[in-house]
Amino acid sequence: MRQRVLVKFSGEALAGDGEYGIDTKTLHYIAGEIKELVDNNIEVGIVIGGGNIVRGVSAAADGVIKRTSADYMGMLATVINGVAMQEALEHIGISSRLQSAIKMEQIAESFIVKRARRHLEKGRVVIFSAGTGNPFFTTDTAATLRATEIEASMLIKATKVDGVYDKDPNKFKDAKKLETLNYDMALQDNIKVMDDTAIALAKDNKLPIVVMNMFEEGNLLKIIKNKDYSKCSIVK
């Protein structure tokens, strides 16, 4: 049986050097890294955040926009990123499908797990957009949920850092990288892997989470195919 993984990118990862918007060069680079997986017979699901466009908490901060509406705006942002990612994949010849947790039939298929599995079996990359479809959740939780639903062997959190630290490595020189953590460690306040809902769901379903640097070329394939965990952290 082929290996199946779910890769989660934050919206910010798509913004390149900036914090906002979509940088097509970065998008093209990410698509290339995904292609390496597909070319190596690995089935790939993708969840992308929306933080480069709208984050619910920030949009609702001054009270003008209600949190629920702000969160729907955030979910729509993930669909925008999903459309862009699908284009970048198709641009380099990767067959893909975009599914959405919110009905949007002109743009994306509705999320149907059995259909998603079928696409994966046929070697298509499936992009899961619109998060969980519910306000008050994050795309990290959506990624954990989708990874569990499609029975992925691991969830890869692709970031700009090479793993999980005991404190913020940008602020503290003595921050230590934690190579292997258990779920309870990941739930501690100082450890920022993912939000508690996402970690709890991963724990319940024994889904391993790998945190890795997306911007080191070839890293994604090395981790998944060669099980080389030297340049990442793993929660299991």
Residues near ligand UDP (CB under 6 A) are 10-12, 49-51, 55-56, 70-71, 74-75, 77-78, 131-132, 134-135, 137-140, 142
In the complex, minimum distance from the CB of residue 10 to ligand UDP, in angstroms, rounded to a whole number:
4
Question: Which C-beta is closer to ligand UDP: that of 55 or that of 203?
Answer: 55
Min dist CB 217 to ligand UDP, Å, is 22
| Residue of this chain nearest to ligand UDP (CB atom) | 49
Residue with Cβ nearer ligand UDP (71 or 222): 71
Classify residue 2 as exposed, middle or buried by CB count within 10 Å of its CB (0-12, 13-18, 19+).
exposed
CB of 50 to ligand UDP, least distance (A): 3
Query: Which residues, including other chains, have CB under 8 Å from residue 188's CB and lie 6 or more apart?
Result: none
Q: Which is nearer to ligand UDP, 33 or 71 (CB)?
A: 71
In 3D, which of 214, 198, 118 has the Cα closest to residue 162? 214
Pairing of strands 209-213, 232-235: antiparallel
Closest approach, Cβ 51 to ligand UDP, in A, equals 3
Kind of pairing between the strands at 232-235 and 164-165 = unpaired
Work out the burial of residue 140: count CB atoms within 10 Å of its CB; fewer than 13 is exposed, 13-18 middle, 19 or more buried: buried
Residue 222 or 232: which CB sits closer to ligand UDP?
A: 232
CA distance 176 to 170: 12
